[in-house]
């Protein structure tokens, strides 16, 4: 039991024992409800519901004048929302509405009540229910309930739900909500001027749906609205990064690069909120790695070198990490440039040994390195694969998985003139069987995707 709950129980018992000056009131119970709403304890929602029920029982029996108020109900809605129980949160909202209509509650559900329930459904990915509640809230406001006036936070719950949805029309619906906010604000109906969160949610919705051009279009809308004084802040790092990632996932590396350059120029021109970070550069590297051509691989290395220069000069905190290196090594591997992949891998090892722990090679690093050996004309690919595995285990304390051992087998199959080839193929096969071979093509493809992701 929480200390607040224990003290409330002690207070009530003291009152029952004759200390009339210790009579608990609504505020006493609300303090406990507030503590439960802030708790991460999994049973805090049930306990909050029990406290609310106790208030109603004590009030109905005339024992205490502790009729729940809007704060009491809102605390219970919040605790259900926090614990991912949207239906229960809505249930409390409905009980609150009934209590008001029955004359038991002095005030109707307010902005906090509706917004908490909206966000509960948003976090659960139920965008239709979140949108329905927002519409109900707005109608309540139009019908005279001024305390239920929707605000930016109310709309952001619906936008967030739509941005997370896998429904194919979610992005268009998100932009329609954004347009409605603008119309309501311009007409003076509601003070819901879209902010960075509103726009970035719509960009994210388009990016998630694979609609990179639409994500960029909304970014341009942001720029125009900021320049026109309709938006208080210019696009920030999150807005740019989301759009860059959209083009990267679509394989449009030139557009991803162009946006990164624009973002950097914006930062240099004074927009400090658009400072490129490691994710900005890594998204471009990922796009270039997926291009599978020599020019893109060379360009990826140029981007990596630029990151190093910007970091060393103190201009940007973009010291390359393992994801950065893995992308460029993978770009070389895709093109069969094994010598370049190996050269870059050695640089990565040197950086790590020099104290840069973020550049520590991981399983993905060794997987793409071995892939580069198997797809290029490097001499003795099998022996090189063994050397890499030994370094991985001895120096980096990493254990190979089945996919990595399969990559080593492929390297040895290219090394047919080596005297140890037959022996090593047999040993690797035995090791794969001990670990457990990936089940079917889907896992192997998944492994390749995870390599590309970085």
31 found inside a domain = yes
44 found inside a domain = yes
407 found inside a domain = no
pTM beyond 0.95, yes or no: no
| Amino acid 448: pLDDT | 34
Quick: pLDDT tens for 257-294: 999 999 999 999 999 999 999 999 999 999 999 888 99
Calculate helix-pair angle for 196-208, 170-186, nearest 10 degrees: 160
| Amino acid 291: pLDDT | 87
Quick: pLDDT tens for 8-21: 999 999 999 999 99
Task: Enumerate residue ranges in the chain where pLDDT < 50.
Answer: 1, 440-454
* Structural domain range at position 18: 1-109
| Amino acid 451: pLDDT | 39
| Amino acid 290: pLDDT | 87
| Amino acid 19: pLDDT | 96
| Amino acid 449: pLDDT | 33
| Amino acid 331: pLDDT | 95
Number of separate domains in the chain:
1
54 found inside a domain = yes
């Amino acid at each position: 039991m929480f200390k607040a709950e224990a003290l409330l129980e002690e207070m009530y018992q003291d009152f029952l024992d004759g200390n009339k000056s210790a009579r608990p009131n609504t505020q006493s119970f609300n303090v406990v409800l507030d503590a439960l709403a802030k708790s991460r304890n999994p049973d805090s929602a049930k306990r909050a519901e029990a406290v609310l029920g106790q208030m109603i029982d004590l009030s109905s029996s005339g024992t205490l004048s502790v009729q729940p108020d809007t704060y009491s109900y809102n605390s219970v809605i919040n605790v259900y929302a926090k614990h991912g129980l949207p239906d229960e949160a809505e249930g409390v909202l409905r009980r609150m509405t009934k209590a008001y209509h029955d004359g038991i509650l002095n005030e109707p559900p307010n902005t906090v009540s509706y917004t908490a329930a909206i966000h509960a459904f948003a976090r659960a990915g139920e965008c239709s229910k979140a949108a329905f509640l927002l519409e109900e809230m707005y109608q309540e406001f139009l019908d005279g309930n001024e305390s239920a006036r929707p605000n930016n936070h109310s709309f952001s719950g619906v936008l967030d739900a739509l941005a997370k949805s896998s429904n194919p029309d979610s992005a268009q619906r998100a932009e329609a909500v954004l347009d409605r906010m603008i119309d309501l604000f311009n007409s003076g109906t509601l003070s819901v001027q879209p902010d960075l969160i509103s726009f970035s949610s719509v960009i994210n919705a388009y990016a998630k749906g694979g609609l990179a051009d639409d994500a960029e279009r909304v970014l341009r809308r942001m720029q125009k609205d900021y320049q026109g004084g309709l938006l208080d802040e210019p696009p920030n790092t999150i807005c740019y990064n989301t759009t860059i990632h959209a083009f990267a996932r679509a394989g449009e590396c030139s557009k991803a690069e162009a946006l990164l350059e624009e973002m950097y120029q914006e930062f240099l021109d004074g927009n400090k909120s658009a400072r490129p970070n490691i994710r900005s550069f890594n998204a471009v590297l990922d796009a270039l790695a997926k291009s599978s051509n020599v020019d893109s691989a060379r360009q990826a290395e140029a981007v990596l070198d630029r990151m190093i220069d910007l970091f060393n000069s103190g201009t940007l905190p973009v010291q390359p990490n393992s994801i950065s290196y893995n992308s460029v090594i993978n770009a070389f591997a895709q093109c069969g440039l094994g010598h370049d992949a190996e050269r870059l891998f050695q640089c990565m090892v040197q950086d790590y040994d020099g104290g840069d722990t973020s550049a520590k090679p991981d399983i993905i690093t060794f997987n793409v390195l071995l892939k580069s050996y198997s797809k290029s004309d490097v001499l003795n690919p099998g022996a090189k694969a063994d050397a890499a595995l030994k370094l991985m285990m001895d120096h980096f304390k990493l254990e190979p998985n089945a996919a990595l051992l399969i990559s080593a087998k492929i390297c040895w199959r290219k090394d047919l003139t080596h005297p140890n080839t037959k022996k090593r193929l047999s040993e690797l096969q035995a090791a794969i069987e001990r670990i457990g071979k990936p089940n079917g093509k889907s896992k192997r493809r998944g492994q390749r995707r995870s390599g590309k992701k970085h």
